[in-house]
Copies of this chain bind each other. A is one copy, B any other.
């Protein structure tokens, strides 16, 4: 049976809508009382695993799910060994550099070479500042990255921005965008090639909904 890894959080409802549009109903995951982490669709065609967004590429990489939905940001940050099959267009956000509105730094290249940047996306941030040839120190935080500049621990942050509300509430402004991100359909490379007959019809149906 086809197994699909679906991320909890921001991409969940759009992911479930997408699969409904190709005949696979996993809407039980949207029930607030649901505690199940794996369900089979009512037609008994496919199984879905409900996992943390960060864990989706892990389940796909290890072949426990043949398909998965994941934000492009996580593909760039974790560089998992998965096949990137389609840009699903939903879940738009951008990876931005932000500083306090009162900051003297109006552009990333103005940041001091010994400066500090807080981020959950350590690899993306490192690569970006490496490209700018700016040897800042990346401070790895797991939550509330905006506290970095507020407490004075860092001059800037690199974080995902969707509506911009969190930045605004914390007096931060964007000074550059690293990249834009949307949800992507990924597959386990080997099982995709070996089970093309089983998996490809679903991938084609998904691609058809995008055009």
Interface residues of A (CB under 8 A from B): 3, 8, 37-38, 49, 51-52, 54-55, 58-59, 62, 64, 116, 139-144, 147, 150-153
A51 near B152 (CB under 8 angstroms)? no
Report A77 CB to chain B, min CB distance, Å. Answer: 12
Contacts of A147 in B (CB 8 A): 37-38, 49, 51
Residues of the B chain whose Cβ atoms lie less than 8 Å from the Cβ of A151: 3, 38, 49, 59, 64
Q: Which residues of B contact A55 (CB under 8 A)?
A: 141-144
A52 and B142 form a contact (CB under 8 A): yes
Q: Do B150 and A38 touch across chains, with their CB atoms under 8 A apart?
A: yes
Q: Which residues of B contact A38 (CB under 8 A)?
A: 147, 150-151
A143 B64 Cβ-Cβ under 8 A: no
* A143 with B62: CB separation less than 8 A: no
Contact A142:B54 (CB < 8 A) given known A38-B147, A153-B59? yes
Q: Return chain B residues, CB-CB under 8 Å to A49.
A: 147, 151
**A80 CB to nearest B CB, Å:** 11
Q: Give complex CA distance A152, B62 in Å.
A: 10
CB contacts (< 8 Å) of A140 on chain B: these are: 58
When chains A and B are docked, how far (Å) is the Cα of A116 from the Cα of B63?
Answer: 13
A68 to chain B, nearest CB (A): 13
Q: Would A143 and B52 count as touching, CB distance under 8 A?
A: yes
**Can you list 11 pairs linking A and B with CB atoms under 8 Å apart?**
A3-B151, A8-B143, A52-B142, A52-B144, A55-B144, A58-B139, A58-B140, A58-B141, A59-B153, A64-B151, A64-B152
